[in-house]
Structure 1
Amino acid sequence: MSVLAFDYEDAKGNVSTREVSQWSDDGWLLTGICSSDNRRKTFRRDRIQVVHEGGDSLKPISMPQHLVDRAIAASKTRSDSLEILFTGFAKARRAELEAAAAESGMRVCKTVTMGLSFVCGGPTAGPTKLRNAQAKGVPVLDEADFLKLLETGEMPE
């Protein structure tokens, strides 16, 4: 698979050009090896402004049809907002994190559901809830990853 270059807008409204290789797309999240630091990163598809072709050639192209098809299918099975579950945090800290998530447009869940986008596990997260989420393919973040997601729109891996 070739290098995919695109313009990405982070949560603060900053737009930068990103390049990823070995990428995959589920219609909601785009994941690949980022050329700037050679680390696997995940990007929210709704924050991709323009897709480009080739590494140095930044000529805009249309979104490939298979990506469009996946996005349409994903929009039918997911809600308009990301869903997050917080577990393993002290009550006051959990309330702060839930408020930050809600303020950024996320829906806060109390249990692992089919529409869950990710889980944020704290220092006392129970293994059963985390295993249940991972079994359903739901990414598990720690607090630092969640805060980075709020700040940049990127979901660390």
Structure 2
Amino acid sequence: MDTAVFLYCNAKGIVKHYHIADISQDEEYIQGICLDSGDLKTFRQDRVISHHSSPEEAEQAMNAMLESGELVPYVPKPRPWETFDVCFTGYTKAEKEELSIKAEAAGLTVRKDVTVHLNLLCCGKRAGPSKIKKSREKGILILSTSQFLEFIETGEIPVDDNAVND
């Protein structure tokens, strides 16, 4: 199984180590199943502090950095997007319409299906597995409703929201 272990600094400056599997990634993001929680998580590549061979090694490195005072959290400002396509799945018609209005107000383009140009799939409580699987295969980011709302508000993809379908 292809896995990754790394130290990561989230948007709030909190540093934690993560162990993920079933990885998909591009130049900006890495996404995978967290082996501790079983949840799908998304991470910004530029926030990864260091890679390690095991969770124990990552924890030791983090503790050593904290003890020595070397660890200074890196929290870059959110990056604005030029074009960004989003698809909503698993929502009622009214919920999808409300989310679409918010997405368009934030400058995003709303799509009806998973395409090669799609950047983000936002999943509601009734999201089916086919769009999620298709998105994972294409390396498309998958977010819950609360993650999406935080994303359009801050420009950051929140990592610590455990629910994929909230």
TM-score, normalization by structure 1: 0.55
Describe the superposition over 1:16-61 as per-residue Cα deviations: whole angstroms up to 9, x where unpaired: 9x799x9x982699532487889xx9975447xxxxxxxxxxxxxx
Distance 1:25 1:44 in 2: 18
Is 1:151 aligned to 2:153, yes or no? Answer: yes
Match of 2:27 in 1: 26
Matches within 5 A, 1:1-157: 26=27, 30-31=44-45, 32-33=47-48, 45-46=79-80, 80-157=82-159
CA displacement at 1:103 relative to structure 2: 0.6
Q: Identity, % of aligned pairs? A: 31
Greater per-residue strand proportion: 1
Aligned amino acid, residue 102 of structure 1: E
Distance 1:116 1:81 in 2: 10
Return closer, same or farther for 1:82/1:42 CA change in 2, 3 Å cut-off. farther
Query: Runs of 4+ in structure 1 displaced over 3 angstroms?
Result: 27-30, 33-38, 41-47
Distance 1:84 1:151 in 2: 15
Distance 1:133 1:95 in 2: 21
Match of 1:71 in 2: none
SS of corresponding position for 2:131? helix
When the two chains are superposed, the root-mean-square deviation of aligned CA atoms in Å is 4.1
Return closer, same or farther for 1:151/1:46 CA change in 2, 3 Å cut-off. closer
Aligned amino acid, residue 83 of structure 1: D
TM-score, normalization by structure 2: 0.52
Aligned amino acid, residue 128 of structure 1: S
Describe the superposition over 1:90-117 as per-residue Cα deviations: whole angstroms up to 9, x where unpaired: 1101100001000100000011111111
SS of corresponding position for 1:84? strand
Contact persistence 1:30–1:45 (CA under 8 A): no
Contact persistence 1:83–1:116 (CA under 8 A): yes
